[in-house]
Structures are given as C-alpha cells and as structure tokens.
Structure 1
C-alpha cells in the first residue's frame, strides 16, 4: 500500500508575524493621533528664549450652505463663585460682555419636492427647513465689567471663576436666543429673505406677478396632497421657451 504524501502545513510563524506587524502599526497610528491631540491642546510652543509664541495650532475649513437670516446682539451678565480652604477662602466674580447669536436656514436641504407651484393663484410655495440657532459668541475681550471679590483669590480659584463665567455667559445668551419670541422674529425675517432670494430668479426669467410663500415644518399639516403639484417651477420655466 502506497504511503500518502505529507500534507503541507500552514506557515503559522509567518501569519503570526504579519498579525503582530499589523497590530504594531495600528498601535502606532493610535499613539500618533493621541500625541497630536495632546500637543494641540496642552503643549505650549515657545521660542528659543523660552517665550511663548502666538500661532494658529490647528485650523479646519468646513463648507456650508446655510443662509443667515438674523442675528441677536446685546450684553450678557454672568456670575460665578468659588469656595476653598475648608470654606475660609470664598470668592466670586461678575462680568458683563457683548454677545451675538446668529440664526440660519440650511438652504442646501431644499430639493425639487420642496417646491409647489399653483398656476391659478400664481403662488410658489417653498417648504423650507426650520430656523436653526448657532452657538453664541461672547466677546470676553471687550467686557465692560469684570469684578472679582475675595479675601485671597488663588490662581486655581481665579481660573475656576473665569471658566464658570464664560460657560454661564454662553448658556444665558443661548437661552435668550431660543426664546419663542426670538425664534418667531428670526422666522419672519427668514420668510422675507428667502422670498427675495428665491423669487429673484423667477423675475429674471420673465415670470412676474408671482408670490413666494415660505412654509416651515411646524406649519405643515396632513399630507402633501393638499399642495398643487401639477407644475413644478422647473416645468414652468421650461414651457415658456
């Protein structure tokens, strides 16, 4: 009886080496990302003489297609308190600083299904996204009031007070910007801005006497069947020439 030829065995040492190399590469990538993040946030760059330098540590450009439809500006007051040394070192801080909060509508989200044309009434209805509120911008470098009180304010306490007033100022400005009356004002201005922006091409194309109606999501009720979809705006323009 003939002997069976020995079957080749998988080269396990090579597979183990490849797996180890891949694991090392992954670990190096993770370590590099962690180092870059740490360097960006915590490492202070200095000149040869030891003085810190002014420079942009990281900058990223991000494209956007949002239409600014309003801005809330004013002055915000923010307070903070800190207690240390078993209650013996109490301090507080108050600042007043100018702030601004912008309102936007993301027009990039508009598509053909968001336009409804009523030929009889000559009304172009546009179902737009709702107004969004941007993050507040508090100009802490232009404070009109910046008072710190306390028998002895340590460096750590001063830093904690500064963080608290900064967070509090942004929170207060954001709360004001989100009040119903502020949102309502931004929506009304958005209607006018969008009507001018989107009605202009119709006038330029020779389609006059057209009213542009802006409808926000919260104003839509029931099915879209109530809108006249017999003619899309692009169809109207195409049939005129």
Structure 2
C-alpha cells in the first residue's frame, strides 16, 4: 500500500458557487490536462524506445515481443485507488450540499471541466450550480471525444443527497465539527460506457467558525493499469488547486493504492 498526503492549501472563498465558472478554475483544469497529456506521451515514447532498442540490439521480432509485453503489463488492471480528503469552506453547509449535490460536483472538476458536453437526465444543459435550495441530488452525462471524434466516451454520474439535521446548522464555537453528525451526505456514483468508473461518499458538517467541513471518501470500484499511475500522480498534484479555485481548502488528504 502506498500513501500520499498533501499539505494545507490557501484559504477558500466565502462562496464556492460563485467561483464555479471563474477563469482560475478553467486555468487549473487546463494545466492538469496538459500535464496529463505530457506524461501519457512520455510513457508511450518510452515504450517505443524500448521496442526500437530491442530491435537494434536483438531482432525485429524481439522488439515486437518486448513492446507487446510492456503494453500488456501497463494496461493490465492491477491496483485500486482509495482516498480520503477533508475540506474546509467558508460557505454554509446548505451551499456546500447544493454544490456536491449538483450535476457538476467540485471533486469532479477534472471531468466536467474538460467534457465536450454536460447533459442532465432530461437532456437539458446541466448548470454548474443550483440556487433553488434543492438537496435531493441529480444525474448527468459527461461526453468526451477522442481521436478527432472517432471515439466517444460517456461518463454517467448519479448523485444522491440524504439530509441529516437542519442543513444550515453549524457547530458551536469550541466544538469539534468533524466529530458531529453530518448535516447531509452525498453519494456520487459514476459509470463509463456502462462499466464502473468511480464512487464517492461525501459528508458535510457545520464548521465551528460558521463555515463547513467536508469529508470526501473515494471508494475503490475498479482496477487500473500501471499506465494510469503517472496520470494519478498528476491528478494528485492539481486536485487541491482545483478545489481551492472553487472555494474549498484541503485540510488533509490521503491516497492509497491497493490490489
């Protein structure tokens, strides 16, 4: 098992919803996308280099064998990701619940931020946030196209919100908010082309300072190939920045890799 811990980030803004379409959010997502592509291309070039080296030193078919072994080893599903993140926001629990209960949850910024299209269940355009006070959850489809539009992937997101105590309740000053019962929990399930993609459990609590404390648990639902490791490292690097741009401060974060 491998552990990763990130330090506290900069202070969040008072209203997460106000920053959802801000240029700094798009900037973080764009930087993450460029870095992710860079490591993917680097990995592909290393495989090609291994193939050419084996061909030059041994023979063409030896190079083919080496390349095939490397591709299979990199693509074979061998590990799962499990993670836990604690966030802090100056916004009220009600506002935070609406954010995570929307069709574009803050923790999925790298997905809805680069999607070619975000559609709600009824086929309408899914808004980045909601101000109607609803906390029942929603569902959406993120559509991505690759290879100049020759390949399309649809990521279907189902978001369910369960309220606990009054959503606007906050913990009294001096009381440890993370130990209090959550005012609401949000379950986020994702499937890509009908296959399990990811699952998140989010607990929202009132903060002692009048803000909110959010615990996000990443539940392992699928295995990844070794080729996904560099992409995971890039995501871990930019994840706190993407959340900070939306008004959330990463207080503590751990990520584990298991079989």
TM-score tier by shorter-chain length is under 0.3
Choose between structure 1 and 2 for higher RCO, CA contacts under 8 A separated by at least 6 residues. Answer: 2
> TM (normalized to structure 1)?
0.24
Q: TM-score, length-normalised on structure 2?
A: 0.23
Which structure dedicates a bigger proportion of its chain to helix?
1
Point out the structure with max Rg over C-alpha.
1
* Bigger proportion of residues as strand: 2
